[in-house]
């Protein structure tokens, strides 16, 4: 890791995972010693994972609302790496918020509980998005889902993601 020894465990469930559109950022952080891959993990609690506008995955902080535990990857990230992740996830724009999450290793043989953080859909639209998605979620963001993801550079420039989320949630 970089000069600052402080590390934060981050659970990635969507486009930051290996093989997905934004994993290049994790690779860059790893190459600069700002991130380490820990392993495959699953949420300890059932949480909704839904797909919003532009194929963007959102983990909703609505424990027990879904019948699924969500699978993803755990990373140990430096403070400078966190700043880059926060920027990508639009923390200051109200897209996501980084909050605590409890995980266990996905292999099933190890029941060790790990406290980490994850990027959840911002609370201002999470419940509305859950209703819009028919209160049905997924246990993992898959390659098939990832094929519908539209990178930021290819989205309309005249509308923010928050605008698109509002339109998505209000559409019939």
Judge whether 128 counts as a catalytic residue.
no
Beta strands, E only, the chain: 7-12, 35-43, 49-51, 57-59, 71-78, 96-105, 114-121
> Whole-angstrom Cα distance, residue 21 to residue 167?
24
Share of the chain above pLDDT 70, in %: 96
CB-based contact 135:65 (threshold 8 Å): yes
User: HSE on the CB side for 153, CA within 13 Å?
Assistant: 2
**Given a cut of 60, is residue 3 above it in pLDDT?**
no
Interval 143-165 mean pLDDT? 94
Nearest-angstrom CA–CA distance, 36 and 14: 17
Query: Among the options 73, 87, 89, 136, which is catalytic?
Result: 89
Per-residue pLDDT tens for 14-64?
A: 999 999 999 999 999 999 999 999 999 999 999 999 999 999 999 999 998
Residue 5 pLDDT > 70, yes or no? no
* pLDDT in the model for residue 110: 72
What are the domain boundaries of the chain?
7-170
- Which two tokens mark 166? 């509002």
Q: pLDDT value at position 162?
A: 93
What is the average pLDDT score of the chain?
94
Cβ–Cβ < 8 Å for 9, 101 = no
Mind listing the pLDDT tens digit for each residue in 100-134? 999 999 986 777 899 999 999 999 999 999 999 99
pLDDT, one tens digit per residue, over 53-79 is 999 999 999 998 999 999 999 999 999
User: For position 107, what pLDDT does the model report?
Assistant: 83
Is the pLDDT at 137 greater than 60? The verdict is yes
Q: Which two tokens stand for residue 51?
A: 């797909």
What is residue 143's predicted lDDT score, i.e. its pLDDT?
97
Q: Does domain 7-170 have CATH number 3.30.930.10?
A: no
Q: What pLDDT is attached to residue 98?
A: 98
């Amino acid at each position: 890791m970089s000069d600052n020894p402080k590390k934060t465990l981050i659970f990635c469930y969507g486009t930051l995972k290996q093989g997905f559109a934004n994993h290049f950022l994790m690779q860059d952080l790893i190459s600069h010693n700002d991130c380490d891959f820990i392993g495959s993990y699953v949420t300890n609690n059932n949480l909704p994972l839904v797909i919003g506008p532009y194929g963007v995955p959102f983990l909703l902080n609505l424990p027990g609302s879904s019948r699924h535990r969500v699978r993803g990857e755990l990373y140990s990230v430096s403070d400078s790496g966190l700043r880059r992740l926060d920027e990508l996830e639009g923390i200051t724009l109200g897209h996501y918020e980084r909050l605590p999450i409890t995980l266990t290793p996905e292999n099933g043989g190890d029941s060790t509980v790990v406290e980490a953080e994850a990027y959840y859909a911002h609370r201002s639209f999470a419940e509305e998005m859950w209703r819009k998605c028919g209160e049905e979620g997924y246990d993992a963001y898959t390659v098939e889902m990832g094929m519908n993801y539209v990178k930021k550079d290819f989205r309309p420039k005249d509308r923010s993601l928050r605008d698109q989320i509002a339109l998505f949630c209000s559409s019939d």
